Structure 1
Amino acid sequence: MKLNITKPLVVFDLETTGLDIVKDRVIQISYIKVTPDGREERNNIFVNPQRVIPDEVVALTGITNEMVKEAKTFKEIAANLKDAFAGCDFAGFNSNFFDIPMLAEEFLRAGVDFDFSKVRLIDAHSIFCRMERRSLAAAYQFYCGRKMEDDFPPHRADNDTEATYRVLMAQLDKYNPETADDPEKVLHNDMDELAALSKSNDNVDFAGRIVWKDMVDANGKPLLDGEGNPRKQEAFNFGKYKGWYVTDVLRKDPGYYSWMLSSDFTNNTKQVLTRIRMREFMNKKG
Structure 2
Amino acid sequence: MKLNLKRPLAFFDIESTGTNIGADRIVELSVIKLNPDGSEEVKTWRVNPGMPIPLESSLVHGIYDEDIKDEPLFKDIAALVAEFIDVSDLAGYNSNKFDIPMLMEEFLRADVLFDLDNRHFVDVQNIFHQMEQRTLKAAYQFYCDKQIINAHSAEADTRATMEVLLAQIAKYEGVEWEDKKGARSKPVVNDVEALHHFTNLNKPVDFAGRMVYNENGEETFNFGKHKGKTVEDVLKIEPSYYSWMMQGDFPLYTKRKLEEIHNRWNAKKNAERIARQQQQQTAPKPQEPVTEIRPAENQPKREFHKPDHTRTNNYQKPENKPFKKKDDAPAVPVNEDMLKLLADKFKKG
Q: TM-score, normalised by structure 1?
A: 0.47
Q: Which structure exhibits the higher relative contact order, with contacts defined as CA atoms closer than 8 Å and separated by 6 or more residues?
A: 1
- Which protein shows a greater Rg? 2
Q: TM-score, normalised by structure 2?
A: 0.39
